[in-house]
């Protein structure tokens, strides 16, 4: 795999390979960091004390909901535009969710 792949391409490759290859999906669930590195060459570097868990949500007869860990609201800083939106009675939920819950691509090191 090309060294300079961007993070989104790495994630797309992991997901598409898991959809098409049951053996890869099994190895991804069993040892995600090794499976990802073997497939893409990208390393996953997690903060100390964190582990990566992959759940197989390919069963179309089920609806899956991920309950993320509770954020420390005291550490959240809103931008001026977010504060203006809230002051106007609207919500900044999508911005807030993106800032509170980092995605896997934030941990991919290429």
Structure confidence by residue, pLDDT tens digits, 60-94: 888 877 777 776 767 777 778 877 877 777 665 65
Residue 79 lies in a domain: yes
Q: How far apart are CA 19 and CA 13, in angstroms?
A: 10
Residue-number span of the structural domain to which 101 is assigned: 7-109
Residue 80 lies in a domain: yes
| Residues 7-35 pLDDT 10s | 888 999 999 999 999 999 999 999 999 99
pTM attached to this predicted model: 0.61
Domain count along the chain: 1
H-assigned helices in 7-65: 7-20, 22-30, 32-40
Q: How far apart are CA 78 and CA 3, in angstroms?
A: 35
Residue 2 lies in a domain: no
Residue 1 lies in a domain: no
């Amino acid at each position: 795999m090309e060294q300079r792949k961007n993070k989104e391409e790495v994630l797309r490759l992991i997901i598409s390979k898991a959809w098409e290859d049951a053996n890869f999906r099994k190895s991804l669930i069993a040892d995600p960091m090794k499976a990802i590195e073997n497939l893409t060459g990208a390393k996953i570097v997690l903060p100390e004390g964190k582990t990566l868990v992959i759940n197989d949500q390919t069963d179309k007869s089920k609806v899956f909901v991920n309950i993320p860990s509770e954020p420390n609201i005291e550490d959240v800083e809103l931008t001026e535009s977010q504060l203006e939106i809230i002051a106007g009675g609207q919500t900044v939920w999508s911005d807030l969710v993106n800032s509170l819950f980092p995605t896997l691509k934030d941990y991919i090191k290429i």
